[in-house]
Amino acid sequence: MSDISFTSPAPGYWADENVSADDWNSAKWQLKNRVSSLADIEKHLTLCEEERAGILLTGTKLATSVTPHYFNLIHPTDPDCPMRRQVIPRIEETYTDPSEMADPCGEDSHMPVPGLVHRYPDRVLFLVTDRCASYCRYCTRSRVVSGVSDQKLETQWDRAIEYLKRTPQVRDVLLSGGDPLLFSDSKLEKLLTRLHAIPHIQFIRIGSRIPIFLPQRITPELCAMLKQFHPLFISIHTNHPRELTTEVHDALGRLADAGIVMGNQSVLLDKVNDSVEIQKDLVQKLLMCRVRPYYLYQGDLIQGTAHLRTGIAKGIEIIEGLRGHTSGYAIPQFVVDGPGGGGKIPINPQYIVESNEERTVLRNYEGKEFIYPEAKLAAVPE
């Protein structure tokens, strides 16, 4: 049976530093006290050789930064801790496989305006910031996120808004980056107001890991502001059931109470969530948080992430292990983002055993086969 209990990481490593409850529950304090240097990390973790070298050598590719809230979920001595592998650099990040790319989703080649990606006919990706509360080591946009790489995100806000106004086929805008929920309430409200005023934009989505890394940011005031802009969707990003703490559960509850529809996007990661058992615990816990599991992504071919990627067969195995063993609402769609800009391609286990004009033979989750006759026109009596 899955463990759906929610626990709090506070105050953890900071217990001896007399951090007050008011400070700990403050998003500003959490951001100000992010762990970002080798010295800070070594105060709390016993690093392995690969991690120490990684922290020293990867600073020009993607910054290291972890909120205290999330840092307290990390095992202090185990380099294979699932949370640790997501946010602590390793020397393997400096290795590049020949198949890897700086821009694996082909976003830069689909920008009619800097910062605005128009790859699908009716929707756009609006990259509004290059900063996050914490930085995931498998980040698809590591080429522009965190401000330390050579390529910079140069979003042109007014040109982006004008492009949207004169492109009526766009009905859906996804705000991402970086993390849009790092914006102040007033700055985010101004942006949402401008987008909401464009008649053909039917709904807005926000992609965010803030509810996981920084649940203190999800205040009643933020939720009340967001509530003005329905239909509004938020795609959160959590990869492991231990990330769903009491604080995260409560933050997601505030968003749900504000009428915001939430889906979760996970990335399949080696030694993090690459088992049916972990994925089952995660998706069932998400439903308890009123979040629908939406996508399970195969890891993108990002430079320096081969040590975190699994094979596609592992994702198929996980989906097959979930099907029939948990609610349909709990099963995400496994997708591969076609390398170079092919978009999301759904991948499913094979349940069709045989198909012809007369019948289709289907296999269920137990391996049993069932025959479904193909429809034929009934004979019309003379």
In this structure, are residues 162 and 210 in contact, taking their beta carbons and an 8 Å threshold?
A: no
Residues of the domain holding 342: 108-346
Residue 155 Cα distances to 13, 23, 111, 114, 160, angstroms: 38, 33, 10, 5, 8
206 and 321 assigned to the same domain: yes
Active site residue 294: no
**Do 228 and 318 belong together in one domain?**
yes
* Annotation says 194 is catalytic: no
Active-site entry in 48, 119, 250, 323: 119
131 neighbors 182 (Cβ within 8 angstroms): yes
- Same domain membership, residue 380 and residue 315: no
Count structural domains, the chain. Answer: 3
> Which of the residues 61, 123, 217, 254 is marked catalytic?
123
Report the Cα 132 to chain-centroid distance in Å. Answer: 12
Predicted confidence (pLDDT) at residue 225 exceeds the cutoff of 60? yes
Question: Which of 94, 117, 151 is the last residue before a domain boundary?
Answer: 94
pLDDT grade, residue 377 (50/70/90)?
low
Active site residue 105: no
Active-site entry in 120, 131, 271, 294 = 120
The rounded mean pLDDT for the chain is 92
- The rounded Cα 155 to chain-centroid distance in angstroms is 21
Q: Report pLDDT for 347.
A: 94
Average of pLDDT values for 139-156?
Answer: 84
Active site residue 123: yes
User: Does residue 114 share a domain with residue 84?
Assistant: no
DSSP type of residue 202: -
Same domain, 330 and 361: no
Tell me what pLDDT residue 382 has. Answer: 59
Which among 136, 270, 285, 309 is annotated as catalytic? 136
Residue tagged active-site, from 34, 84, 141, 309: 141
178-205: pLDDT as tens digits: 999 999 999 999 999 999 999 999 999 9
Q: What is the pLDDT of residues 237-294, one digit of tens each?
A: 999 999 999 999 999 999 999 999 999 999 999 999 999 999 999 999 999 999 999 9
The residue count of the chain comes to: 382
pLDDT digit string, tens, across residues 34-81: 999 999 999 999 999 999 999 998 777 899 999 999 999 999 999 999
Q: Based on the residue annotation, tell me whether 136 is a catalytic residue of this protein.
A: yes
Confidence at residue 206, expressed as pLDDT on a 0 to 100 scale: 98
| Domain assignment present for 325 | yes
Question: Does one domain contain both 142 and 235?
Answer: yes
The DSSP code for 251 is H
CATH number of 144's domain: 3.20.20.70
Residue 376 lies in a domain: yes
Tokens standing for 53? 């070298």
Per the annotation, the verdict on 337 as an active-site residue is: yes
Give yes or no: residues 90 and 161 share one domain. no
Q: Is 254 among the residues known to form the active site?
A: no
Residues 237 and 314 in one domain: yes
Catalytic annotation present for 363: no
Question: Could you give the residue ranges of the DSSP H alpha helices within 262-374?
Answer: 276-288, 312-322
Do residue 254 and residue 183 come from a single domain? yes
At 381 the pLDDT is 61
Question: 130, 270, 281, 337: which one is catalytic?
Answer: 337
Mean pLDDT of 94-116: 89
- Residues 247, 333: one domain? yes
Q: Each residue of 161-171: pLDDT tens digit?
A: 999 999 999 99
Does 179 participate in catalysis according to the annotation? no
Residue tagged active-site, from 81, 139, 223, 289: 139
Is residue 300 domain-shared with residue 357, that is, in the same domain?
no
Residue range 301-318: mean pLDDT, rounded: 95
Neighbouring C-beta atoms of residue 156, cutoff 10 Å: 14
Told to judge if 119 belongs to the known catalytic residues of this protein, a careful annotator would answer yes
Do 124 and 143 fall into the same domain? Answer: yes
Q: Can you give the pLDDT at residue 3?
A: 59
Q: Which of 62, 94, 126 is the last residue of a domain?
A: 94
| Predicted structure pTM score | 0.93
